[in-house]
Amino acid sequence: MAKKIDPLNKKQYGAVSAMLTVSDISAAVAFYQKAFGFTKRGIMNGPDRNPIHAELTLRGTTLMLGPENPTLGKRSAKTVGASPAGLFLYVENVDKVVAKAVGLGATAQGQVTDMFWGDRCGVVVDPEGYTWMVGTHKAEPHITGNERENGRADGAAAGRYRNRRGLSGHPLDDPLLAWFGAKCLRSR
């Protein structure tokens, strides 16, 4: 009797895995391992012995890497000059991880900051051009009973955050809010 194959391959993958197109698979693998703590699952080489696919894992998440191939429309964020997508990574010590990533070639986007939703976060652009928000969860946001009842907890928490930071209240005054926090404010 043939062994039943799991069509979702749940032993190896979660429901969603990120796939990044990179200019140099080997260099990207080394960076993600050293900077963020990923483990290399494997690298597949093509007939020319150059890497055509790599898989990294971190706490049950798979990150797949593939090479640029302009014929198929695959270009790295580095080649394009930007990425419309970002990645969020929880770590034990955001300050240490961001500093390490910068030391390995990432570019910091502002300072590591305490955010209104209870995380301490920093943003880096890796050597391949992808934006990573790295965070350590420090506290639960403070939500009053009134805010919870009125369904306005997200906006009120953001307002307290902005007031504490001396910002005008517009999300674009803070680069981290502009990048991520504004989405939290529209969570209805």
- Give the domain CATH number at 38: 3.10.180.10
Report yes or no on 161 lying in a domain. no
Average pLDDT over residues 23-39: 98
Report yes or no on 8 lying in a domain. no
Report yes or no on 9 lying in a domain. no
Report yes or no on 128 lying in a domain. yes
Task: Please count the structural domains in the chain.
Answer: 1
Q: Which domain holds residue 111?
A: 18-140
55 vs 165, higher pLDDT: 55
Distance of alpha carbon 174 from alpha carbon 162, whole angstroms? 9
pLDDT given at position 114: 95
For 121-172, the pLDDT digits (tens) are 999 999 999 999 999 999 988 666 555 555 554 554 555 444 444 444 444 4
Report yes or no on 27 lying in a domain. yes
Report yes or no on 147 lying in a domain. no
Report yes or no on 95 lying in a domain. yes
